[in-house]
Amino acid sequence: MRFLSLAVALGLLTAACSGNDSTEPTVAAVPSTTVQPTTTTTAAVVTTEARPATAATTSTTTTTTTTQPPPELLGVELVLFAAIDWPLAIAAPHGDSRLFVAHREGRIEVVGAGGEVQEDPFLDLSDRVRANGIEQGLLGLAFHPSYADNGRFYVYFSDENDDTRLAEYTVGSDPAFADPGSYRELMLFDQPTERHNAGMLEFGPDGYLYVAVGDGGDGGHNGQKSDTLFGTILRIDVDGGEPYAVPGDNPFVDGGGAPEVWAYGLRNPWRFSIDAESNSMFIADVGQQDWEEVNVVSLDQGGANFGWAYREGSRCFSHPECEETETVLPVVEYGHSDGCSITGGYVYRGADIPELNGTYFYSDWCTGWIRSFRYEGGAAVDVREWPELDPGQVNTFGVDGFGELYIGTWGGDVWKLVPIRAET
């Protein structure tokens, strides 16, 4: 097994902020103008009932037992888990020992608990997926919270026309493979360009599917339009209608924007993640000229406006009087002297390194550094850089079915974050 780094002594780590101070987020104003959504899907019904809790998000009561604490944590390191070309998304059903890795050109590979890659892919979408541009490909993968019972999962990909599609598949009769004939399209996005496609997919603790859609590379015109699906995070109910339903408590369900939109004002959100324990969403948004940013909002804060293109990070960009528009400001940002394209990660909630519980990890695609912070009281605290964790150009982060953290790189490596502990 190959090791990336030497031990990182936790007690000797230097707390390092990005180039600027963190800024406390503010509550976004919700537009009041009624507009028609620009979506290429069939009309979706509105659901008024919250989805039932699922195995992935339901709190359980356990019997307290006496256990020995783990040996002293000396540091952490990245261990090479698998080699898969161009991994763009890493996911797993809750409680499943397998790791599913989406290859840029359209294959979903299966990696066993020991790092062995299944000989044939779980699903091969290469005949549907276009990956000509650096921002194209099989961009998103998420498993239904009840996957163990219904076998449903979701993909977001660039198609042969340079547009993007959100689709559902189901597992086949053999659980090692999906049924390629089960394709069901939920949404088609008529992209202005081949850039800024975003594509992150994740289910929230409410059972709804959240979808990141970039602004389409349109020069920033879509960012401040809540009536378009571009430059947004969408929230849809994949169980309540055909092809989907709109949750009844979405912020614009009664007007003022497209009913599917949960948040807007984003450029190219290259990876958001949902931390069910804190009921928060962490959104890394790629900047254009000078600034990269991480935003954090409560899942109860629907309708948030993150400011693009009036703002880039916390600063005015295309609108010299951007302060007149109330927006959510980033909790962390850094300048392009320190990187060029942020890759958002996850809040660590695994069992292997309880000392890192609540720590959010992220990276920069150009420089490859790994940084982290914890979010407390509306601000980033315990801001750290991990200089010995140097995996290369980080395409994506992911977690397995038990909350352990992985990193996928442009060079074709899938790394796992593991502890280094004192010998007992």
pLDDT at 69: 87
Dump pLDDT digits (tens) for 339-367: 999 999 999 999 999 999 999 999 999 99
| Both tokens assigned to 402 | 């038990």
- Which bin fits 255, alpha (ψ -120 to 50), beta or left (φ > 0)? left
Sequence-distant (6+) residues with CB within 8 A of 304 are 27, 28, 263, 264, 265, 297, 328
Domain residues for the domain of 267 are 10-421
Exposed / middle / buried, residue 362 (Cβ in 10 Å: 0-12, 13-18, 19+) = buried
| Both tokens assigned to 334 | 């850094």
Report CA 16 to chain centroid distance, whole Å: 24
CA 193 vs CA 29, 163, 223, 402: distances in Å: 29, 8, 15, 37
pLDDT at 62: 53
| Segments in the chain below pLDDT 70 | 1-44, 47-65
> Does any domain span residue 3?
no
Question: What are residue 298's phi and psi, to 5 degrees?
Answer: -70, 145
Distance CA 59, CA 2 (A): 36
| Both tokens assigned to 324 | 């007149």
CATH of the domain at 201: 2.120.10.30
Q: Is residue 357 a contact partner of residue 348, using CB atoms and an 8 Å limit? A: yes
Sheet holding 232-236, edge to edge: 201-203, 209-213, 232-236, 261-264, 304-305
Distance CA 216, CA 363 (A): 23
pLDDT at 399: 98
- Tell me how many domains the chain contains: 1
The CB-side HSE value for 319 (13 A sphere, CA atoms) comes to 19
Question: In 10 A of CB 3, how many CB atoms?
Answer: 13
| Partner residues linked to 394 by β-bridges | 409
pLDDT at 33: 30
Distance CA 267, CA 309 (A): 7
pLDDT at 424: 79
> Does any domain span residue 82?
yes
Question: What are residue 65's phi and psi, to 5 degrees?
Answer: -130, 155
> Does any domain span residue 1?
no
> Does any domain span residue 2?
no
CA 257 vs CA 35, 128, 143, 250, 301: distances in Å: 6, 31, 28, 10, 16
| Both tokens assigned to 191 | 């992209």
Sequence-distant (6+) residues with CB within 8 A of 63 are none
> Does any domain span residue 4?
no
Question: In 10 A of CB 160, how many CB atoms?
Answer: 10
- Tell if the pTM clears 0.75, that is, is over it: yes
Sheet holding 269-275, edge to edge: 269-275, 280-285, 291-298, 332-335
Nearest in space to 208 (alpha carbons), one of 172, 167, 236: 236
